Chains A and B, each alone.
Chain A
Amino acid sequence: MSLLHEMGYTNLAEYPGGVREWIEAGFPIEAAAGSPSREEILAGYASHAETKPVQIAPRVTPALAPARPSAMNRLLDRLESLSFGQLFGSWLGMVVLFGVAFYLLHLVQPALLELGAPLERGPRGLLVALYFSFVCATTIGFGDVVPQGIARGAAMAEAVIALLLFSCVVSKLVSRRQEELTEDIHRITTEHRLGRMQMNLHMVLSELYSVDGDERGLERLEGITMIFASELKAVHDLLFRPQHLPDSVLESLLARVASGLTELANKLERLPEGATCTGPFRATLKQATATAVEICGDCVPRAHAPGVKAAMDRVQQQGMRLSGACDALA
């Protein structure tokens, strides 16, 4: 139900009683020959309630049950949602935190050696500990300051965490650029496709106006219809996909499509007696009409200006007319 709602359907209701309540109320059911009796069906639904699997019981597909995200995935999702600044900030914060931790550890028991001698205490020692933490986090490892004892484990942990965080920072940078590029490519492709659609529709229209009803004309009509059907499909896709196009562009495209449908229906109705259409031609026509009748102001997922809606309704209307002309052929 929520699936239908997501698809844009507004007038939805559910009958929770289902087949079971219907049968229990004594109403007739429809069933294919050789189906189980009413009692068996009821028993089937009842035993389903006791979680025993029964062949006719409603099936729940495992694919529909959302997989529980693992802790690792949740962590990765969380990292991905952070901005570049936040990621870099947390990396720096971690370096400072480990630096201070190394120094505090050193106060308890010698943990860092600077050129072989234990690190001195005081502000200089803290700075050296921070320096060591930075060297460790960037995995440079100059070797002038080395950890010992428990600090070795901490250094390893810091290197691993810092690497992970830093790789997130880098991927953020790369993906940002990539997203920009993808958007650019998408925009250019759409413009190119729109231009091609407009040109093709124009060509289809002028061809349709000039084609005659003779045998050669029928062949030409077949070729034009093939191009027209594919462009019609492209217009249909534009309306049903989430790309947003200016209403003025849509209106002009739809107007050409509607004129094309009208002219095509005119030509089909005026075909000479006994003219035979090939199978592929009829299939293309059928496909074109099926696409056209799906286009109407209230059928598409987005709301459009009244002019565009009217143009869509006209496409549907002409599609139905073409469907009639097509049936007359068969």
Chain B
Amino acid sequence: MPPIILRSPQPLILFALPCLVTLTLSGCGNTDNTPSPQVQLAPQILRDFADQVVIPNHALFATRAEALSQAIGRFTQSPNANTLGAAQQAWVAARAAWEQTECFGFGPADALGYDGALDTWPVNETDLKALLSSNQPLTPESVRQMKETEKGFHAIEYFLFGTAKNRQPGDLTPRERQYLQLAGADFAQVAQNLAASWSQGVEGKVAYREVFTSAGQPANTTYPTLQAGKAELIQGMLDSLDEVANEKIGKTFAERNPQLAESRFSFNTLTDMKSNLQGVQNVYLGRFPDGQTQGQGLSDWMAQTHPALDTEFKAQLQTAMDALAQIPSPFERAILDPKAADAIKTAQSAINQARETLEDKVKPLMVPS
């Protein structure tokens, strides 16, 4: 049999053939040259997170904090059942907006002291009582300089609700009302500063929106990669789910200790937790329903790349929210009620289930290590 020989092959082609094959093959693994739709979506997700979730949520919180301050003003001017009820409702409304921000507590909130001034727990009841029994002058400046445990949400809650939602309109002394009014005004100012720190910048600093949405751009030293920006969103969701399942529910329930419930004065702890989960859902979907905003969220990226997992996680999150709604209110009493134990355990495990899916399945796809 005559050998099969290629007719006069060009030597150069023979030399180049392995090169071409190798280069073609090696090119297969490297698709970054033309960004896929998912890659192009990532910067949009970060922008929408800032513009459609964080900023509108902070803005609503600032508006409600101001409304709370006004309602406190009316109550302290003329303490009666109506003005007290209105101030309590305003507190609950502000709280609902604030607790939705829990899964994005990064950025200026800690560094500039806003988080501590707004939401430190527990209240230093001993010092606060001593201060209000004294004749030390109370001014806007003295309240601004007070310790974090003596102002903010929970100190205001203490005066508006009593220690177990038992405040009567005539309970407060004139001096306590004076303090409460000043604490309300300080609170509203801090809420406004927090909103401004993201949207327009405070104290001569660039708006944090600009820092976060430019993740991955060469000049960005805070988030040098786009991946770090995406990871921040997921980290916030994970921490919030963990906090609700294993601290707010877990530890309080395990110890059957209502004193550990965060909003125990107002019996609002269960509502706090519902708001926390709502916040997680907001980040995932890239929207803020209370502010009627809608953008591209992590879910849109997942729906394009792993639609089944996107559906699974959304369903688990909804299941967790539904399970939380099954816990009888108030949570401060439910933890002591054997009949409520199953509902509490079910909610805890449903939230942990969503957290595990996010950690073990979603995160590795979004933020490959």
Do the two chains belong together in a single complex? Answer: no
